[in-house]
């Protein structure tokens, strides 16, 4: 328990440093928490509710300088805490280049190469974060599965838009196969906006006649950029971190450019899954505006007769899997079991 409490405080300090570096005012309004979640989870949510994180506003969609400033500030804020998490896990990182695209090779402690590989596409609303600042979450999944992770460090919009980002991801995946790792030994993992990119990458591969990965793992995939769905309304106040207005809305436009936000090229929830899709696990919490997006993605997969499951966690927020709480540990264990079972 003392170690868990220290980790909870560390994560709260990380979030606070991001907020301060972004110039966000602290908010006082809170909503009551259920008694059905762990004390550790309550501690994190109470901090998030009072932090003002969901009031974070993004620059205008085409303000490259403004987005770079915000991106760089958050990268700087996460350097030390991210290293602490990686050190605690005993993970090792190696930078590299695959077909001109930067990648990060994440290897869990005690890793033994059996040919299986997880390709990670990180989130951050497309506009924020990098393979380096999200390496902690990548390492947690690597450890849970006991597999090596290659994290794609794609170029953040609005420096480029959807077509370039997707081309970079496609180039990495194609080269991985060309270098000798078949897709039958590969899983794709994505969180939030990264989940969107994972779904789109698989559909692109399928439509080109390429082999698809053995499995897809999605943490709270932002698969519909249009802010549709029941919980976009009903959980607007309850969600402690996400608000569509401002940051997410402008991030969506920065990525999509001139495309309609329901265009399946940028909102893959509206894509065609009937021609095949890999076995998929979606993990989501019940206290996030993206809950409906995850449910709708699951329903679209099931309607297409895809081997899909949705793993829901009571009272959890967006990307809770990185928190020091028993719910997170359970989710990561489930994710690891899923990946191992589909990548034999």
pLDDT band at 30 (very low <50, low <70, confident <90, very high): low
User: In three state form, how does the secondary structure of 94-112 look?
Assistant: EEEEECCEEEEEEECCCCC
| Tens of pLDDT, residues 130-173 | 999 999 999 999 999 999 999 999 999 999 999 999 999 999 99
Averaged pLDDT score across all residues of the chain: 92
Output the pLDDT for position 78.
87
- Pick from 109, 58, 59, 68: nearest CA to 86: 109
b/e per residue 193-227 (b: at least 16 CB within 10 A): bbbbbbbbbbbbbbeeeeebbbbbbbbbbbbbbbb
- 314, pLDDT greater than 80: yes
Output the pLDDT for position 46.
92
Output the pLDDT for position 246.
75
Measured in degrees and rounded to the nearest 5, phi and psi for residue 15 equal -60, -40
| Tens of pLDDT, residues 200-238 | 999 999 999 999 999 999 999 999 999 999 999 999 999
| Tens of pLDDT, residues 83-118 | 889 999 999 999 999 999 999 999 999 999 999 999
pLDDT band at 29 (very low <50, low <70, confident <90, very high): low
pLDDT band at 56 (very low <50, low <70, confident <90, very high): confident
Alpha carbons within 13 angstroms on the beta-carbon side of residue 30 total 15
pLDDT band at 6 (very low <50, low <70, confident <90, very high): low
pLDDT band at 51 (very low <50, low <70, confident <90, very high): confident
**Domain 2-342, what architecture?**
3-Layer(aba) Sandwich (3.40)
Question: Could you give the CA distance from residue 337 to residue 64 in angstroms, rounded to a whole number?
Answer: 41
Average of pLDDT values for 309-326?
97
Output the pLDDT for position 250.
97
| Tens of pLDDT, residues 242-279 | 999 979 999 999 999 999 999 999 999 999 999 999 99
328 torsion bin: left (phi>0), alpha (psi -120 to 50), beta (else): alpha
- 62, pLDDT greater than 50: yes
- Pick from 200, 192, 198, 196: nearest CA to 242: 192
Question: Could you give the CA distance from residue 264 to residue 1 in angstroms, rounded to a whole number?
Answer: 45
């Amino acid at each position: 328990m003392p170690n868990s409490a220290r980790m909870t405080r560390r994560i709260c300090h990380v979030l606070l440093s991001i907020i301060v570096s972004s110039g966000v005012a602290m908010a006082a309004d809170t909503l009551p928490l259920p008694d059905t979640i762990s004390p550790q989870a309550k501690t994190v949510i109470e901090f998030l509710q009072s932090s003002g994180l969901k009031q974070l506003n993004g620059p205008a969609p085409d303000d490259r300088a403004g987005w770079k400033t915000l991106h760089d500030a958050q990268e700087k804020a996460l350097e030390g805490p991210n290293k602490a998490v990686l050190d605690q896990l005993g993970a090792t990182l190696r930078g590299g280049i695959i077909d001109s695209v930067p990648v990060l090779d994440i290897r869990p402690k005690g890793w033994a190469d059996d040919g299986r590989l997880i390709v990670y596409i990180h989130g951050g609303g497309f506009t924020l974060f990098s393979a380096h600042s999200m390496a902690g979450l990548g390492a947690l999944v690597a450890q849970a599965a006991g597999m090596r992770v290659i994290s794609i460090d794609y170029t953040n919009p609005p420096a480029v838009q959807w077509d370039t980002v997707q081309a970079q991801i496609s180039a990495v995946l194609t080269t991985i196969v060309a270098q000798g790792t078949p897709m039958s030994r590969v899983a794709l993992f994505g969180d939030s906006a990264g989940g969107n990119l994972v779904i789109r990458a698989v559909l692109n591969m399928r439509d080109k006649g390429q082999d698809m990965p053995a499995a897809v793992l999605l943490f709270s995939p932002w698969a519909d950029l249009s802010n549709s769905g029941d919980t976009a309304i009903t959980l607007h106040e309850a969600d402690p971190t996400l608000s569509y207005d401002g940051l997410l809305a402008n991030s969506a436009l920065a990525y999509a450019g001139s495309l309609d936000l329901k265009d399946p090229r940028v909102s893959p929830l509206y894509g065609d899954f009937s021609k095949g899709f890999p076995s998929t696990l979606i993990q989501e919490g019940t206290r996030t505006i993206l809950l409906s997006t995850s449910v709708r993605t699951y329903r679209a997969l099931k309607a297409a007769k895809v081997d899909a499951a949705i793993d829901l966690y009571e009272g959890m927020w967006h990307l809770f899997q990185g928190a020091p709480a028993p719910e997170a540990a359970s989710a990561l264990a489930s994710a690891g079991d899923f990946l191992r079972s589909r990548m034999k």
